[in-house]
Amino acid sequence: MVKKLFLFFSLAASACSFAQTSTEKSLATQIAKFESAKKSEDFQQSKDYFMQYVNTLARGAKTTKQDWRAYYYAALSMVRGEINAQRAGNMQNIDETSALAEKYLSGVFVKNPDNAEANILLSQISVLKSLNNTDGAANLAKAKEYLAKAEAADKNNPRIQVVKGEIALNSPVKNGGDKELAKTYFNSAIAKFKTYSKKSGLDPNWGKEDAEYYLSTLK
């Protein structure tokens, strides 16, 4: 009887381990697809997948601290889709998209309260919101607050420099806006990307192309 119970629990543990490995592989595949997204439909497909992934987690009985990535990538796919549309000259629903992305990022903090990546993304969302309403100064101030939290948790993260550059680029001169300062931040970000090591292969990888894009527009 003891042997049978041992065999049962061993099989159950193996099944759980296999399911977890399979889930991580699936997530890694989808993250890779997202990172190569170029068109609006690509970002939409990523958004749909990660939102479905989050819904699956919500129905599950047990989650882990690592599940923050599903919430994060759901929000990130929305933000990147908006940025892609903006650069193509098609300002879409920034306020609506931002509100939904912020909602998903709140799920990150439930899993991981001091998550630097989520604070960086919230900062970038605040910069986006500053471009689309009369509360530009308030949103830029909020962006700086989120970055301060991110720096406290992961000061060497190059995405912090990217968003600092975006803040400098989009702020009025009287509030610290400065194109040359923005260039300094973007160049600093590119340098940091050369030495920064992600904590996991599933962690975010965006930012370097953004810095290069902005520098190309500031020549």
**Of 102, 122, 155, which marks where a domain is finished?**
102
Q: What is the CA radius of gyration of the chain?
A: 20
Q: Taking 80 as the threshold, does the pLDDT of residue 59 lie above it? A: no
Regarding whether 129 and 89 lie in a shared domain, the answer is no
pLDDT at 11 (0 to 100): 39
From 102, 126, 150, the end of a domain falls on 102
HEC per residue, 14-43: HHHHHHHHHHHHHHHHHHHHHHCCCCHHHH
Contact 140, 167 (CB under 8 A): yes
Per-residue pLDDT of 4-46, as tens digits, reads: 444 444 434 433 333 344 455 778 899 999 998 888 889 999 9
Distance of CA 77 to the CA centre of its chain: 8
Residue 202 tokens read as 């599933």
pLDDT score, position 134:
66
Mean pLDDT of all residues in 47-75: 81
pLDDT tens digits, one per residue of 180-211: 999 999 999 999 999 999 888 899 999 999 99
The answer to whether 79 and 210 have CB atoms below 8 angstroms apart is: no
Which is nearest to 208 in space by CA: 73, 195, 200, 181?
A: 195
Give the model confidence (pLDDT) of 169-182 as tens digits: 999 888 788 999 99
* pTM for the predicted model, two decimal places: 0.86
Do 49 and 119 share a domain, yes or no?
A: no
Q: One-letter amino acid identity for 155?
A: K
CATH code, 209:
1.25.40
Q: For CA atoms 11, 13, 17, 23, give the dihedral sign.
A: positive
Structural domains of the chain, count: 2
C-alpha span between 158 and 113 (Å, rounded): 20
Are 121 and 85 within one domain? no
Position 107 in a domain: no
Nearest Cα to 84, choosing from 135, 131, 40? 40
The whole-number average pLDDT for the span 123-139 is 88
Domain shared by 118 and 214, yes or no: yes
Please give the pLDDT value at position 115: 96
Q: Tokens 């590119």 belong to which residue?
A: 190
Domain-located, residue 218: yes
One domain for residues 151 and 54? no
Q: How far is CA 138 from the centre of its chain?
A: 22
* Per-residue exposure over 83-120, b if at least 16 CB sit within 10 Å of its own CB, e if not: bbbeeeeeeeebeebbebbbebbebbeebbeebbbbbb
- 47, 38, 104: which is closest to 71 by C-alpha? 104
65 pLDDT band, cuts 50/70/90, is: low
Residue 167: inside a domain, yes or no? yes
* Closest to 146 (Cα-Cα) out of 112, 116, 110, 111: 116
Range of the domain at 160: 114-219
Residue 56 pLDDT level (bands cut at 50, 70, 90): confident
DSSP state of 196: -
Same domain, 87 and 35: yes
| Domain boundary, last residue among 39, 72, 102 | 102
Amino acid occupying residue 32: A
pLDDT in tens, 145-162: 999 999 999 999 999 999
The number of CA neighbours under 13 Å toward the Cβ of 102 is 15
pLDDT of residue 201: 87
- Please write the tens of the pLDDT for every residue from 87-130: 888 866 888 999 999 999 999 999 889 999 999 999 999 999 99
